Structure 1
């Protein structure tokens, strides 16, 4: 069926919606940056893994990055190419299959490398090994997302690195951004070079990780391209890899939910929805952040519920804290009305749960040009029961 992508009035049940036109816009921007800066930009599954859209991705990019055996298998089985893989720690019972599914394998510590690199090489003779480095600098303000915070479990600091790298280490991997701009990357790069450039002559590639939000409207793409070109000039033998996640799925579509009840207590009105922040928008509670709701004004502090159209939005789970405050609408909400949460594809569809057995939103795709809605996956009680089996 055709849908109105402003109101989605044709939809009456929860649904994550990916709009092809928006996705292709992001892919075009990312592909252009890669060509102009002569770098490889790959898709990080930890932020986006809707594999039925991979045929579109493959028109623009060549590779993906994995953080687990499941993601590495996804790369091979659905993207059709081995993954660039990093994990904080590989297990004895998965390392062989992970290596078989990986073109690049980055070790988080020297002890992991020493214990497992021979097994990985025996499983895949063509694999390229890397080490994750810790520049001990990050501008990420939320500690839960900061991999360079004191006591981090991620990467090797310069003082723990041997002067001569193992002969089969080909690259460095560094991840210390989270939806940051190119100005942050410019400042971070100074710390990376200051601490680790003396090893650059011993490696062939460097992976600057994710968090480079190059598809955000205010992102300075020209600065990014210039930074990368200047880095190339300083170290022309190094292949540069970047693996943003959010940038691919950024602003590609909403989560559409419906109002199923409206309750009031102590003057606070709550519109209860058929979706859950805990289950279906977990970053809102983890980060935390207030998602934008189409047609409503977000009120993050001191909401005035005496105003006629100010509401909390609450879930239909039994978790008491599964709600957020507050939004001001321009009308009184009604049962059955759509509530459209903007930008709910990256780091959302990959993190959902089936806690409480709540019905999981369907996955859908809007084709560009026609606005035809294709439902790519629906979920029911059997999915929850099988998960608990």
Structure 2
């Protein structure tokens, strides 16, 4: 992704003037970009009749839920508190919940907020489905199509060998009973991460191969998240073709639950240089922003976030390591080069932060 896409909302603007009165570190949302993303999602809903949910684990700034509700169908939650957030802040939308394992002491309350509940295992289906069904909820189970489309970062691949997420066909054949099957309304899979629709097409081929006998009995199919729909090079026509194929062939309703795509390039993290220290040949700019606290993906993935007027893959005249103010020695954001020398008090703007 090019930096001119990430920082499009800040083009031709003076950063010191814009953020002069902002106390850093500070997250800033670009509302125009958020609306632009939402309109793209809305057009897919209009063209296909599918429903699109906000995956709250990726974006849960509820100040914008009312705005987003004009364009999308509801929210997806990973537990009780996200379900409550979606129900309260987007009250006219659907609330879908998936959790790898539900807690006994929370499930009753969860039923107050959720419309659709997806179970991760047949054990969980046995334990909770009857109660959920009696409460009028739509019931689904997560399947594992055993089709990896990601390279690297296997720890984040739901189809990696030994994954705890979703029921494989082998387990389905061994444990699914007629009485449990009769309670199911839908299937759910989530296998993608920031990918294009060709990866979804590959996944759908695997889903159809393994579960073609199940799909005609379902009312809905949730294709999960990881669809980078609002990225400039995303093939929307292919996505719509996949959605239409599934809906027409199996007479069901398709759901998507993108997260990052809703807020892609719509947020910035504003930081300030507190000090610059040297050790050998390395100059480190210490910021008031911490990788560990403010952008944990930097350490966990790891990845290097885009930086306005900074280059992580090009060599410029001035090079610095950017790091946080904490005592954690690994609190390092990354290595960057600049055309101009950094000074104490300079503002730095990280992208991909919504």
| TM-score when normalising by structure 1 | 0.83
Please give the secondary structure, in 2, of the residue aligned with 1:264. strand
* Contact 1:95/1:119, CA 8 A, preserved across alignment: no
1:136 equivalenced with 2:151 (yes/no): no
Does structure 2 retain, via aligned residues, the 8 Å contact 1:294–1:341?
yes
Is 1:201 aligned to 2:216, yes or no? yes
Question: What is the number of residues matched between the two proteins?
Answer: 335
Structure 2: distance between partners of 1:45 and 1:120: 22
**Matching residue of 1:255:** 269
Matched, 1:49 2:64: no
Partner of 2:7: none
For structure 2, list consecutive stretches of 5 or more residues without a partner in the other structure: 1-9
2:297 to 280, 283, 296: 283
Supply the distance in 2 between the matched residues of 1:272 and 1:64 (Cα, whole angstroms): 38
Shift of 1:6: 5.2
Q: Which structure shows the higher helix fraction?
A: 2
- 1:324-355 Cα deviation digits (max 9, x unpaired): 3311111111111101001201xxxxxxxxxx
3-state DSSP of counterpart to 1:46: coil
Shift of 1:158: 0.9
Aligned partner of 2:338 among 329, 332, 357: 329
Question: Residues 82 and 101 of structure 1 are in contact (CA less than 8 Å); yes or no, is this contact kept in structure 2?
Answer: no
Q: Which residue of 2 aligns with 1:148?
A: 159
Q: How does 1:12-161 map to 2 (within 5 A)?
A: 12-80=23-91, 81-122=93-134, 124=135, 126-141=136-151, 142-161=153-172
Match of 1:365 in 2: none
CA RMSD after TM alignment = 1.7
Q: Is the 8 A contact 2:317 2:339 kept in 1?
A: no
**How many Å separate the matches in 2 of 1:23 and 1:148?**
31
Give the TM-score normalised by structure 2: 0.91
Q: Which runs of 4+ in 1 moved over 4 A?
A: 3-6
Specify which of 213, 218, 226 is matched with residue 211 of structure 1.
226
Is the contact made by 1:293 and 1:340 (CA closer than 8 Å) also made in structure 2?
Answer: yes
Give me the whole-angstrom Cα distance separating, in 1, the residues matched to 2:73 and 2:282.
51
Task: Classify 1:117/1:53 alpha carbon distance in 2 versus 1 (closer, same or farther; 3 Å).
Answer: same
Kindly tell me: are residues 5 and 166 of structure 1, through their superposed partners in 2, closer, same or farther at Cα, counting changes over 3 Å? farther
Q: Which residue of 2 aligns with 1:357?
A: none
Q: List runs of 5+ in structure 1 lacking aligned partners.
A: 346-389
| Residue aligning to 1:192 | 207
